[in-house]
């Protein structure tokens, strides 16, 4: 039974630069999966129904996704799990971690802008992990660039070979539709955000094509398709699965166009759950015993209940409600009476889950990102490290009556991995470090709205925080004495050096030969 369940699973992340149309695409996929009936316009104020995947108020105000949402739906005979990731660069850490929990990715690219910086960064992570990717070139209903130029740019910028599986007929105002190379049929475009367009079976070598799209576009399409067959090798699923070739689809997510072709082809060719590398050994999804790891923690999905949810990716075996599992880091046995799966904000309790599934576990503070759960075997799945932050502010309590609320709020938000907290050993003040400016706003907003606590930021000019360790205790003590104003501890009690300039950091590295300076938290 397990075998069949595993074969049905498709777990993937949608990644892109901000504004390329990722949340819109997620929403349209849910529409085909029958999970939502009407597509809500994300940014329009006329329609008050906001996009299902952005549930935090600050996301709705700004039209950006801040935290990764997990959604699942059934499509044909497959069970699809989507992880919608924040495209905004201030939240790239969250996205990097999400990529550890998926088997493949869909990259959304804006047809007018081409490949942007954030997309390159995320593709690097996919390459490191040999994650198969499919490219969706969005916004074909707007004036954009020549499709062949776009493909060349994708190959050059993302360092991967491409193979178009659908092809646009004109673009912008004159956009007529997409020819589906994979299934060899024609889809005619009628701009409509709510309804799905018709498919037409057409032999492109007959005059029937001219009737549908007009003579000049028909001729151009035939020429383009000849060129594609000449330039790109036949599509081979294995080169996609090994991460060497990215299939490319064209469409307009906002107008629901070209999305179904993407989904139909995706469920057929995308990989079912793959083996996961633990420090001890490689774990196969088909193994009988349950294993899984926590890749994300979110506070307050439901504002009425102040609780956290830890997202666990099932790697092998079968997860069962109320079964005893071993929490490896704490060495405890834990049971979960109400594990959940998500459809955006609606969550439902589940009895069991299979490899590839993402299960929400109620967390009262026992989990950290990267924790492993097993049926007793000592395994440690490799998480992704925290990177050393580059922006710092002191966080101060703005309302002395709410000290407890503030402390609890900071604690939970740090557990989520939104940012990192250090305690300055010299003055005992709490210092928050992030990779982007926007995170300070998000923290302040969420403390106020979810924990009823007010905070105030105070600037501090620091260059970098780095973790230090040494085998030479005497030298370590000497270093801490000399730099006592710049020493801090992280939440795990490890020593962190707060360098206030690049020069200071280089001098420290020269003067103290036996101290190791680390720029990620895993060492």
Q: Is the domain of 367 the same as that of 467?
A: no
Please check whether residue 96 lies inside any domain of the structure. Answer: yes
pTM here? 0.73
**Domain annotation covers residue 383:** no
In a domain, 523, yes or no: no
The number of folded domains in the chain is 3
Same-domain check for residues 191 and 60: yes
Residue 111 has pLDDT above 60, yes or no: yes
- Based on the domain organization, do 257 and 328 belong to the same domain? no
Residues 60 and 186 in one domain: yes
Scored b (16 or more CB within 10 A) or e, 51-83 reads: bbbbbbebbeebebbbbbbbbbbebeebbbbbb
Q: pLDDT for 31-43, tens place per residue?
A: 777 655 544 433 3
Q: Which of 269, 302, 332 is the last residue in one of the domains?
A: 269
483 shares its domain with 509:
yes
Whether 308 and 360 share a structural domain: yes
Q: How much of the chain is helix, strand and coil, in % rounded to 5?
A: 30, 30, 40
Could you tell me the CATH number of the domain that includes residue 486?
3.30.70.3280
pLDDT value, residue 49:
45
Residue 192 lies in a domain: yes
**What mean pLDDT do residues 359-386 have?**
79
Average pLDDT on 406-434 reads: 85
State the Cα–Cα distance between residues 367 and 383, nearest whole angstrom. Answer: 13
pLDDT digits (tens, 9 = 90+) for 58-79: 555 555 444 446 778 888 888 8
Residue 176 forms part of a structural domain:
yes
Residue 144, pLDDT > 50, answer yes
| Final residue belonging to a domain, choices 269, 297, 324 | 269
Q: Which domain holds residue 218?
A: 2-269
**Rounded-to-integer distance, Cα 498 and Cα 487, Å:** 6
For residues 88 and 234, membership in a common domain is answered with: yes
In a domain, 146, yes or no: yes
**In this structure, is residue 481 part of a structural domain?**
yes
The answer as to whether 385 is a domain residue is no
**Most confident region among 3-7, 288-292, 300-304, 367-371 by mean pLDDT:** 288-292
Is 358 in the same domain as 215? no
Q: How confident is the model over 314-343, as a mean pLDDT?
A: 87
C-alpha 65/C-alpha 328 separation (Å) is: 32
Average pLDDT of the chain, as a whole number: 80
Q: Is residue 191 domain-shared with residue 293, that is, in the same domain? A: no
**244 and 283 both lie in a single domain:** no
* Local structure of residue 520 (DSSP, 8 states): B
Q: Are residues 142 and 198 in the same domain?
A: yes
pLDDT for the residue numbered 55: 47
CB-based contacts of 185, cutoff 8 Å, min separation 6: 179, 199, 200, 201, 202
pLDDT of amino acid 393: 92
Residues 359 and 404 in one domain: no
Where does residue 484 rank: exposed (0-12), middle (13-18), buried (19+ CB within 10 A)?
A: exposed
């Amino acid at each position: 039974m397990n075998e069949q369940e595993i074969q049905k699973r498709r777990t993937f992340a949608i990644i892109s630069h901000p504004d390329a149309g990722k949340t819109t695409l997620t929403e349209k996929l849910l529409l085909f999966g029958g999970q939502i009936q009407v597509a809500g316009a994300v940014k329009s104020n006329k329609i008050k129904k906001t996009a299902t995947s952005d549930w935090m108020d600050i996301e709705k105000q700004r039209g950006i996704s801040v935290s990764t949402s997990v959604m699942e739906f059934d499509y044909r005979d497959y069970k699809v799990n989507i992880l919608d990731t924040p495209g905004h660069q201030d939240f790239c850490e969250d996205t990097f971690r999400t990529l550890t929990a998926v088997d493949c990715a869909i990259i959304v690219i804006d047809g007018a802008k081409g490949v942007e910086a954030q997309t390159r960064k995320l593709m690097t992570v996919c390459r490191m992990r040999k994650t198969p990717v499919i490219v969706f070139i969005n916004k074909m209903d707007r004036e954009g660039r020549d499709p062949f130029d776009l493909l060349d740019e994708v190959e050059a910028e993302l360092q991967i070979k491409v193979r178009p599986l659908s092809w646009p007929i004109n673009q912008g105002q004159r956009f007529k539709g997409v020819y589906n190379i994979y299934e060899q049929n024609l889809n005619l475009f009628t701009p409509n955000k709510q309804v799905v367009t018709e498919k037409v079976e057409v032999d492109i070598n007959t005059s029937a094509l001219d009737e549908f799209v007009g003579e000049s576009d028909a001729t151009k399409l035939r020429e383009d398709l000849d060129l594609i067959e000449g330039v790109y090798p036949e599509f081979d699923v294995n080169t996609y699965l090994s991460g060497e070739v990215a299939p490319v689809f064209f469409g307009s997510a906002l107008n629901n166009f070209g999305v179904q072709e993407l989904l139909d082809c995706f469920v057929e060719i995308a990989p079912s759950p793959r083996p996961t590398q633990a420090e001890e050994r490689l774990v196969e999804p088909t193994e009988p015993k349950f294993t899984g790891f926590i890749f994300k923690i979110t506070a307050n999905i439901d504002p009425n209940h102040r609780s956290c949810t830890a997202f666990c990716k099932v790697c092998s075996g079968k997860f069962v409600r109320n079964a005893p599992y071993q929490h490896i880091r704490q060495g405890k046995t834990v049971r979960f009476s109400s594990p959940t799966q998500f459809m955006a904000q609606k969550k439902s309790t589940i009895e069991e889950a299979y490899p590839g599934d993402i299960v929400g576990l109620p967390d009262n503070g026992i989990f950290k990102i990267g924790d492993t759960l097993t049926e007793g075997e000592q395994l440690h799945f490799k998480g992704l490290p925290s990177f050393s932050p580059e922006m710092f502010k002191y966080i101060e309590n703005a309302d002395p009556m709410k000290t407890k609320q503030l402390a609890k709020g900071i604690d939970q938000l740090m557990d989520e991995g939104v940012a990192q907290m250090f305690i300055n050993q010299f003055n005992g003040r709490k210092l928050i470090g992030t990779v982007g400016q926007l995170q300070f706003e998000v923290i302040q907003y969420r403390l106020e709205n979810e924990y009823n606590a007010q905070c105030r930021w105070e600037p501090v000019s620091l260059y970098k925080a780095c973790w230090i360790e040494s085998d030479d205790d005497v030298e370590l003590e000497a270093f801490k004495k000399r730099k006592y104003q710049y020493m801090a501890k992280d939440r795990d009690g490890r020593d962190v050096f707060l360098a206030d300039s690049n020069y200071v950091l280089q001098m420290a590295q020269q003067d103290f030969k036996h101290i190791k300076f680390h720029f990620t938290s895993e060492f």
